[in-house]
Amino acid sequence: MDLDFTSAEEAFRAEARAWLRAHVPAAPLPSLETQEGFAAHRVWEAQLAADRWSVVSWPEEYGGRGADIVRWLVFEEEYYAAGAPGRVGQNGISLLAPTLFDHGTHEQRARVLPAMATGEVVWAQAWSEPEAGSDLASLTSRAVRTDGGWLLSGQKTWSSRAAFADRAFGLFRSEPDTPKPHQGLTYLMFDLRAPGVTVRPIGRLDGKPAFAELFLDDVFVPDEDVIGEPGQGWRVAMSTAGNERGLTLRSPAASSPPPTASSTSGGRRAVHRSCGTRWPTP
């Protein structure tokens, strides 16, 4: 087996490295956990997307390059080595997007993914509740059927990116009388600026709101924003959780010093050592 990079893969690395060298900001952007920094990181996402570097593994129709796992990890290595900004859209790109590829409809992917790739719409994760953290199945936030959709009520907490994000995805109890807690849950997307939504930032010791609480009071969500089948949200959520565990790949060298020229040319063996999860196939 040949474990060296192909000439096409090396050309891809050179293209990525050159683009990053030309575009990565000379000075670090403000923290994305501030309003100013969040806006600056949106601009960076738009720059990436303009030349199809935002989501290289996605199909071209959604703004990607259709890169396979080797090219994707090559890009991640180069991105980290270049000292490029953190990804403000990571919740959407790394969690929601793979879930939509696995469980969403073509209409949902066409509607949601392009704006996610450009940073126009940034997503918050809305899973945890005051009494449902690691025991997610004990959640009590409700989704009640109404004409054309659902009414969401309840509270979510420790919602990442929610202080400044645009939309959120989460799990809600739509069938309260099921025999087991992980049954009767529905996975929905919703607008953080919709009537009935209150966002309360949670300040850290440094005052920066890395998370937020969400209070939902009969928030209307149309049927087209349900992912998967109503009542089958746990299955969809486990798909998202699998991709969340795979976030250690973002970047492959995330827990190591920035790679040198020699460490980024270690061939496919080095790349595959970085792979700790399955490759999500669109």
Residues 210 and 33 sit within 8 Å (Cβ to Cβ): yes
CA atoms of 86 and 45, how far apart (whole Å): 10
Instruction: Tell me how far apart the alpha carbons of residues 171 and 126 are, in angstroms, rounded to a whole number.
Output: 7
- Residue 139, both tokens: 């959640």
Count the Cβ atoms, other than its own, within 10 Å of residue 6. Answer: 11
- Which position among 76, 120, 229, 244 bears the catalytic label? 244
Active-site residue, 45 included: no
Asked whether 54 and 45 are in contact (CB, 8 A), the reply is yes
DSSP string, 163-223: TT-SEEEEEEES-TT-SSTTSSEEEEEEETTSTTEEEEEE--TTS--SEEEEEEEEEEEEG
**Facing residues of 226 across strands?**
188
Which two structure tokens, joined as six digits, stand for 176?
């309260």
Count of CA atoms in the C-beta half-sphere (13 A) of 92? 29
Cα separation, 239 vs 265, in Å, equals 33
Helix (H) or strand (E) holding 20: helix 7-23
CA–CA dist 28, 60 (Å, integer)? 30
C-alpha to C-alpha distance for 31 and 39, rounded to whole angstroms: 10
End-to-end CA distance of the chain: give it in Å, rounded.
27
Give the chain's count of helices (H) and strands (E).
Answer: 8, 8
Annotated catalytic sites, by residue?
A: 244
